[in-house]
Structure 1
Amino acid sequence: MTREPITRYGSMAQLLHWCTAILVLVAFFYGPGGPEQRVYSSVHEFDRKLHETLGLGVFALTLIRLLWKTIDTRPETPPISRWMVVIATIVQGVLYLLLLALPLTAITGAWLEGHPLTLVAGAQIQPLLGASHEAGAVFASIHKWLGDAIMWLAGLHACAALLHHLVLKDNVLTTMLPRWLPVGRARTGR
């Protein structure tokens, strides 16, 4: 009895991937941004709370994804050039690094500036670090740069998936899509 090759990521891997992508996108748009006075003003309180809540969700999902990757089976890599595999591996590694670094820099910056994390439900996580306003501002600035970087890299990641599907006509995109989506399997013969 021969086993069918795995052609898609499992349902849990797909769910974690797409939930992470959605949370990152929404967190980016709800990030109040700007100087500390703007971020912590009452006008932007809901946006900040939502941004912080989503950021903690991204951090938790990323940890779960990394743990899940250790036990999950992966689909076979389609026949693509070695350089594409190397670039994809690097991009995936950098995306995971950013998914961890973004919440950590935000938390560190807020705490160093003396601000608690405030969640949408009203819960607060008080600073666990001693105040150092200048260092906090540096971490907040790094957080902004990393936020822009993840959006650019995720956009390139999405464009690469579309390139694989529409131009190269391989199954890279469909490996991360649920079976119920009406996206046909790419033709493997050229």
Structure 2
Amino acid sequence: MIKTPVTRYGQVTQFLHWCTAILVLVAFIYGPGGPEQRVYSSVHEFDRRLHETLGLCVFTLTLIRLLWRAADTRPEAVASPRWMVVMATIVQAALYLLLLALPLTAISGAWLEGHPLTLLAGKDIAPLLAPSHDAGARLASVHKLLGDAIMWLAGLHALAALFHHVVLRDNVLTTMLPRWFPVGKARSGQ
């Protein structure tokens, strides 16, 4: 029996990828940011609750993505120079690491500062860590840096996909797009 090569990521992988991307972007936009007094002020309660809820969703989706990735079939890699393959591997690994580290630093930082994890619908998860305000504040600072880093890295990831599509004219971008998405065809045979 001849196995047909896979030319695109599956629908589940695409769904998880794009949901994660959208949730990260919206969480970044709604992150109240700033000093602790600002973040935990009543004025920013909705933004904080939305941000923390989306962060928990990102963490959960990332765990699901990693499990799915271990079992799913992926399209064959496009022939590229070794440096591009290495860079793509590093960027993907860094993105996964950030997708896990961002929620963990936020939750740990909040709990160490003595704040509950506040979710939409008024649900709160009380701190499960003994208070250490200074450590929590340091983790909150790390969380902000990681949030900026994931946005830059995701932007680089998107630019690389567009570079593949527009300049190299291969199918790297289209492997992660649904078949119905209107995008020009890459040259075949590459």
Alignment of 1:28-177 (within 5 A): 28-177=28-177
- CA positional deviation for 1:79: 1.3
CA distance in 1, matches of 2:186, 2:89: 22
What is the one-letter code of the residue matched to 1:156? L
Query: Which runs of structure 1 show a deviation greater than 6 angstroms over 4 or more consecutive aligned residues?
Result: none
Secondary structure (helix, strand or coil) at the match of 1:95 reads helix
- CA positional deviation for 1:189: 5.6
What is the one-letter code of the residue matched to 2:46? F
What is the one-letter code of the residue matched to 1:65? R
What is the one-letter code of the residue matched to 1:110? A
CA distance in 2, matches of 1:2, 1:67: 27
- CA positional deviation for 1:121: 1.3
Gaps of 5+ in 2: none
Taking structure 1 as the reference length, the TM-score comes to: 0.98
**Paired-residue identity, %:** 77
CA distance in 1, matches of 2:170, 2:188: 6
Aligned partner of 1:6 in structure 2 is 6
CA distance in 2, matches of 1:5, 1:58: 31
Aligned partner of 2:186 in structure 1 is 186
- CA positional deviation for 1:184: 2.8
Q: What is the RMSD computed on CA atoms of the aligned residues?
A: 1.0
Taking structure 2 as the reference length, the TM-score comes to: 0.98
Gaps of 5+ in 1: none
Alignment of 1:19-30 (within 5 A): 19-30=19-30
CA distance in 1, matches of 2:173, 2:85: 14
Secondary structure (helix, strand or coil) at the match of 1:121 reads helix
CA-to-partner distance for each residue in 1:113-156, whole Å, 9 max, x for gaps? Answer: 00001101111110000111110000000000000000000000
Aligned partner of 2:15 in structure 1 is 15
CA-to-partner distance for each residue in 1:2-60, whole Å, 9 max, x for gaps? Answer: 33211100000000000000000000000000000000000000000000000000000
User: Aligned residue pairs: how many?
Assistant: 190
- CA positional deviation for 1:83: 1.2
CA distance in 1, matches of 2:16, 2:189: 31
